[in-house]
Amino acid sequence: MKKFHEILICVIGTTPQIITETIYALATKKDPVFLDEISILTTTLGKKKIEETLINRGILNNLIKDYNLPPLKLTDASFIVFSDQNGNLLDDIVTPEHNECVGDTITSYIKELSNDFSKRLHCSLAGGRKTMSFYLGMALQLFGRSWDELYHVLITPEFELNPEFFYKPPQNKIIESKMPDGSIRTLETKNAQIHLTQLPFIRFRDKIHLEGKSFRELIKEGQKSIDSNVMVLPLKLKLRERSICIGDSLVINNISPIQLVFYTLFLVKKKACGKRKCSPGCDECFITIKEEIPGNSEMVKEIFYYYKLIYPSRADELFDKYKEGFHSETIRSYISKINQKIKKELGNDSLSYHYIINTKRHYGNSKYGIYLDKSKITIMK
Ligand SMILES: [Zn+2]
């Protein structure tokens, strides 16, 4: 049963033979891939060269016949020709602006294709300018699925840029090539080797937030998403030890029991958030602190409960002191103290931002809570 619509995507400059070499390499490898479609990202010059050789000289058809491959056609629809920011087609990629346009075209093309889950993308970065290869690899890194592949094709040097060599024919053929000094050298195709290298890559799809349009925007967004998520270490709160562990090596000790109680309240609230997509923007796990919090409120009950766990010998003293409840100023001062302690230990503001109790101002009201993802929070007695 056929599973995927197999599509070859090539970036091509002025060496059309990379297309046939890749088709050949895919069809003759151990687990052969027989393509259903080819898509070529190139310049006007590249397209002209491909049409002259692979189409008009019948080289693609010869390859299909020689190896009995399923039919494969190159039509106008197989080409994506790069253009500049004004829509003028490019015959070469020279300026930084051209490069930027090429990057955007490649990225948006791969993004679009990768939304079709019936297709498997076989991307070859062997052709074109180096930036084209880079963009193709990066686009696949951003949008590739587990089944998509990235390749480089390596050819025996004397055949590599030989304009008469397109793939290794089943029967040996003699080809002649003109050397730089003008002399003619004959080559036997049986000596040619074509190696397909499968290149591993990290798949960021669905791991980071990627909504941007241009390549530059996507990279900026991806970096932001990584900075704020992947590198954030998990937090472990140990109530009786009165410590907070961040990752494996950072431990914040000797936190005053009452400060720790308030920190615990916010962590518990975050962990209990019922919103399926609880993110840093989530409001549900943030708490509004009223001016006066009466002694019989849920919040005060929780405060007493955690205090007793943390510091049982002084619990009665605290109950006595706050039996009428808390004033918001008292709570705010504890929040500020625990935040200062965390910031002092973590140093880095963009890192500590995940662990401190943050404030969100909303129509004159302030809500307090933790940005750290709830999956990264563990509370231990
Ligand atoms: Zn939430």
SS3 state at 144? coil
The Å distance, Cα 269 to ligand 1 centre, comes to 8
Which tens digit of pLDDT belongs to each residue from 308-320?
Answer: 999 999 999 988 9
Most confident of the following: 147-151, 156-160, 363-367: 147-151
Residue in the block written with tokens 């002399």: 183
CA–CA gap between residue 108 and residue 118 (Å, rounded): 18
The Å distance, Cα 245 to ligand 1 centre, comes to 22
| Average pLDDT score over residue span 110-122 | 94
pLDDT of residue 229: 62
pLDDT of residue 348: 61
Domains in the chain: boundaries: 5-228, 235-380
Task: Return the closest-CA partner of residue 315 out of 327, 329, 326, 301.
Answer: 301
| Average pLDDT score over residue span 219-232 | 75
pLDDT of residue 230: 57
pLDDT of residue 1: 53
Residue 349's CB is within 10 A of a number of other CB atoms, namely 9
For residue 297, give both structure tokens: 């409120």
The Å distance, Cα 270 to ligand 1 centre, comes to 6
Which tens digit of pLDDT belongs to each residue from 265-284?
Answer: 999 999 999 888 787 768 88
| Average pLDDT score over residue span 93-97 | 93
The Å distance, Cα 275 to ligand 1 centre, comes to 6
The Å distance, Cα 147 to ligand 1 centre, comes to 33
Which tens digit of pLDDT belongs to each residue from 331-354?
Answer: 999 999 999 999 998 876 667 888
Query: Quick one: DSSP state of residue 89?
Result: B
pLDDT of residue 369: 94
Average pLDDT, the chain: 90
Q: Is the pLDDT of residue 160 over 60?
A: yes
| Average pLDDT score over residue span 62-79 | 96
With cut-offs at 50, 70 and 90, classify the pLDDT of residue 291.
confident
Residue 259's CB is within 10 A of a number of other CB atoms, namely 19
The Å distance, Cα 309 to ligand 1 centre, comes to 25
The Å distance, Cα 277 to ligand 1 centre, comes to 7
The proportion of the chain whose per-residue pLDDT surpasses 70, expressed as a percent, equals 96
For residue 264, give both structure tokens: 């615990």
CATH architecture of the domain covering 5-228: 3-Layer(aba) Sandwich (3.40)
* Between 301 and 3, the higher pLDDT residue: 301
SS3 state at 351? helix
Pairing relationship of beta strands 119-124 and 5-12 according to DSSP bridges: parallel
The Å distance, Cα 274 to ligand 1 centre, comes to 7
pLDDT of residue 176: 84
